Amino acid sequence: MEWVALVVWIVVAMLALPVAAGALSGSIGLGLQAVAAIGGLVFCALFIILDGPLWTGWLAVGMAVLGIVTDVWGADTLLSGERTVSADLQGLEELEAGLLGVQLPLFGVALLCSLCLGVNLVTLN
């Protein structure tokens, strides 16, 4: 299960980096989701490298929860009718919204896989 979690975290981190550019348009949540994605990837890799300490699995769960919260916050900021829309950043904001639509369910999958690490449902000895 730890290898599945690692692959999911790699995909989440690859999606997080282009979305992090949304911090330029004033959405702090879009910048923080990259921190959560990279943090989850690091803790999942540490779980494998250190031979399965449970604290790394639980920290990966925390990063997944943080990623879900910041993704929702970033999506709310993108959809808000109270902010001004810049014509220069419109294409970037559309890309970010599309990537958030893919990334948010993957954070949920990463949460479930990381939860398996935290409760020691793994294939490591």
Task: Summarize pLDDT for 31-70 with one digit per residue, the tens.
Answer: 899 999 999 999 999 999 998 899 999 999 999 999 999 9
Question: Residues 52, 43: contact at Cβ < 8 Å?
Answer: no
C-alpha neighbours within 13 Å on the C-beta side of residue 48: 14
Angle at 31 between CA 103 and CA 50, to 5 degrees: 70
Give the pLDDT score at 93.
78
pTM of the predicted protein model: 0.88
Distance CA 5, CA 105 (A): 14
- CB-based contact 5:113 (threshold 8 Å): yes
